[in-house]
Amino acid sequence: MLDRRTKGLAPGTVALLEDNARKPVGLVGVTPASKIAGRMLDRDPEAEIGRDWLAARLGKALSLRERVFDTPYYRLVHAEADGFPGVIIDRFGDTCVVQPNAAWAEALLPELAEALAEVTGVTTILKNAGSRGRALEGLDDVDAVLLGEAPDAPVPVEMNGATYMADLTGGQKTGLFYDQRPNHGFAARLARGEAVLDVFSHVGGFALAALAGGAASALAVDGSAPALALAEEGARRMGAAERFSTRQGDAFDTLTALGEEGARFGLVICDPPAFAPAKPALEAGLRAYEKVARLSAPLVEEGGYLVLCSCSHAADLSSFTGACLRGIGRAGRRAQLVHTGFAGPDHPLLPQLAESGYLKALVFRL
C-alpha cells in the first residue's frame, strides 16, 4: 500500500525505499499510479542517479555486447536485466533507438541521451514512444529525435548471412527484432535445400536467414504489406529475390488456405506476436498457440521440421510446449523435440525476474 506522501510524488521521482523497520532498501523510480509503483534502480541508498550513473550502467551493458558481437547491431539495454528497469535500447550501427517505457527514464531522458552518445559514440539517437507500457506510466506516445537526424530510409542490418531492412521510424517496435538471432541461425541449418514457410514473418526474419543458409525457396507470410516490402528488399540485396516470395494476409487464414492447396514444406516456422502478454490472456493465448501448431503441422513434409515460437511473458516454457504438442497431435502428426531456443546474449535473463526470459523457440521434427 502506498501512503499519502508517496501517492503525491510526481511520476518519475527517484526516492528512497525503506522496509517496515525504516531500514533503507535502495533507490527506486516512482510512478504512484502505475501497476509498478516503484522500480529498483540502485541498492546503494547514497547513489546519485544522473548522467554519470547512467554512463556507468551503459558501459557495463556495452562491454557484454562488444564481447559477443563483432558488429554494432544488437540490443544494447534489455531493461531490468541490464539495470535499466523499463528501458529498451537497440543499436543499429551509428544509431540507437530508445524506448523509455518508465517514468523515471523519461524524466532523465536528456541525461540518458548524453550518456549514450558518450559511451557508444553513436551520432543519432531516436526516441520510440510506441510501447503500450508507456500509457500505464502516464507517458505520451510522441516519438522524437534526441540526437542527430532520423534516417530517411530503412537501415540494412546483416545477421546470419542475411540482410534485413530495419525501418527505425515507421516499423514495429524499434525497427527489428534482434532476439531471434540465434534461432534464425539454427533454423537456417535445417533449411538447406528445402522449401521454407515463414509465418508471421515481419521483415523476413526466418525466411531470409533460411535463404542465406541455402534454402531452395522461402515463402514469407505476414499481415503487413510494408513489412513484406522490406523483406523483399532484403532478399534483393542478398541476391536471393528469385527464391523468395511473399503472401500478405491473416496468418490463420493463410495457413488454412495452404493446407487446402496441398502445400508442403521441408521447414515451417511460426513466430507470432504475444498471444498471452499477461496472465488474464493466458488461456486464450495457449489456445491460439495450439491452433497455430494444428494448422501448421500438416504443411510439414514427412521428416521435415516445424519451429514454433512464443514471446509471451505469461506463457512459460512448459505450458507453451504443452499447447504446441496438443496442436501437433490434433493434426495427426508425431513429433520429436530436437531443440529449444531462447533469446540471444544481448537479451540477458535476470534470474529473479522470469519475464526477462520471455522468448521460447521449439524445433520439432515431424
Q: Which residues are catalytic?
A: 311
- At 78, give phi and psi (nearest 5°): -115, 65
Secondary structure (3-state) at 222: strand
Instruction: Find out whether 222 and 201 touch, Cβ atoms under 8 Å.
Output: yes
> Which residues fall within 8 angstroms of residue 192, CB to CB, at 6 or more apart?
213, 214, 215
Q: Which residues pair with 308 in a beta bridge?
A: 270, 362
C-alpha cell at 131: 510501447
**Closest-CA residue to 30 (of 4, 7, 3):** 7
| Residue given cell 511460426 in the structure block | 270
Q: Judging by beta carbons within 10 Å of its beta carbon (0-12, 13-18, 19+), is residue 40 exposed, middle or buried?
A: middle
Closest residue by Cα to residue 88 from 116, 66, 67, 114: 116
Phi, psi of 186, deg, nearest 5: -65, -45
Q: 231-245: b or e for each residue (b if 16 or more CB lie within 10 Å)?
A: bbbbbebbebeebbe
Quickly tell me which residue has 533449411 as its cell.
191
